[in-house]
Amino acid sequence: MSAKSPQRQQLRQSIRRARQQLSPLEQQSAAETLVKVVLASPEVQRADSIALYLSNDGELDTLPLIHALWQQGKQVALPVLHLFTAGHLLFQRFSADTPLRPNKYGIAEPVPNIQQLMLLSQLDLICLPLVAFDDAGHRLGMGGGFYDRTLANLANLPTAPQLVGLAHDCQQVNAVPIEAWDVPLPIIATPSRIWRF
Ligand SMILES: Nc1ncnc2c1ncn2[C@@H]1O[C@H](COP(=O)(O)OP(=O)(O)O)[C@@H](O)[C@H]1O
Ligand SMILES: [Mg+2]
């Protein structure tokens, strides 16, 4: 099966449509409930530095979570498109005064600043966006493969961040048709529960 397999593309399309159709009230309630689910998890309580992402395309709004983590004194990082290695991400410190700009996909990202870079080994936890997930921790993304490439060699690091997928409950499917390169998620959190695989 290729990356652009019709099965994966169809699944992306139907789940993206479902989450885009959530009402502003449903989005707000999902984001607020997720804050409670995530803050209650021991993995997050133990973590000092956490990578998140800024939501788009109907993704669960991560801003309430980011604010809650700041309030707890945690270091938050955001992905930035890699300046030299196409298809990869870098992570950069994110605070209330970090300047943002739209990247080439129109998604806001911190203005690249080498002094604010955080290496993977400096992150305790990375929260990943996803389009679809299943109850085995399989993840389908938007189709760019950015997180798969960036996190492909995580196991070789002496200290590797824990991976946590964040999603609306409506993004759960019976079985994600996975590919060899898809990075699995040991933890997935939705407003209704948290899975550990
Ligand atoms: N570790 C990797 N090394 C090289 N290419 C990769 C890697 N992971 C993913 N890719 C490429 O990225 C593309 C998109 O990956 P895919 O898993 O379909 O996207 P997503 O994870 O965003 O759903 C695929 O064509 C795949 O070949
Ligand atoms: Mg993938």
What average pLDDT does this structure show over 19-36? 98
Q: Is 112 in the pocket of ligand 1 (CB under 6 A)?
A: no
Cβ 83 under 6 angstroms from ligand 1: no
For all residues of the chain together, what is the average pLDDT?
Answer: 96
CA-181 nearest atom, ligand 1: 8
Per residue in 111-164, pLDDT (tens digit) is 999 999 999 999 999 999 999 999 999 999 999 999 999 999 999 999 999 999
Which residue ranges make up each domain of the chain?
6-196
Q: Residue 1 above 90 pLDDT? A: no
Ligand 1 neighbour 74 (Cβ under 6 A): no
Tell me if 184 CB under 6 Å of ligand 1: no
Atom of ligand 1 nearest to the CA of 147: 21
* Residue 141 CB–ligand 1 contact under 6 Å: yes
Burial 121-160 (b: 16+ CB within 10 A, else e): ebbbbbbbbbbbbbeebbbbbbeebbbbbbbeeeeeeeeb
Whether ligand 1 lies within 6 angstroms of the CB of 3 is answered as yes
Considering the entire predicted model, what is its pTM?
0.96
pLDDT one-digit tens code per residue, 74-109: 999 999 999 999 999 999 999 999 999 999 999 999
Q: Check residue 4 and give its pLDDT.
A: 74
Cα(9) to centroid of ligand 1, in Å?
13
pLDDT band for position 25 (cuts 50, 70, 90): very high
What pLDDT does residue 2 have? Answer: 55
- Going from the Cα of 189 to the center of ligand 2, the distance in angstroms, rounded, reads 18
Q: What percent of the chain has pLDDT over 70?
A: 98
What fold, for 6-196? Rossmann fold (3.40.50)
In this structure, are residues 191 and 39 in contact, taking their beta carbons and an 8 Å threshold? no
In percent, the amount of the chain with pLDDT more than 90 equals 96
Has residue 73 got a pLDDT over 50? Answer: yes
The response to whether residue 182 sits with its C-beta less than 6 Å from ligand 1 reads yes
Q: Which is the closest atom of ligand 1 to the Cα of 4? A: 18
User: Residue 149 C-alpha to ligand 2 middle, in angstroms?
Assistant: 9
* Mean pLDDT (whole number) for 156-173: 97
143 vs 140: CA distance, rounded Å? 8
67 — pLDDT class (breaks 50, 70, 90): very high
Q: How confident is the model at residue 35 (pLDDT cuts 50, 70, 90)?
A: very high
Ligand 1 pocket test target in 85, 130, 181, 185 with most atoms within 8 Å of CB:
181
Confidence (pLDDT) at 3: 55
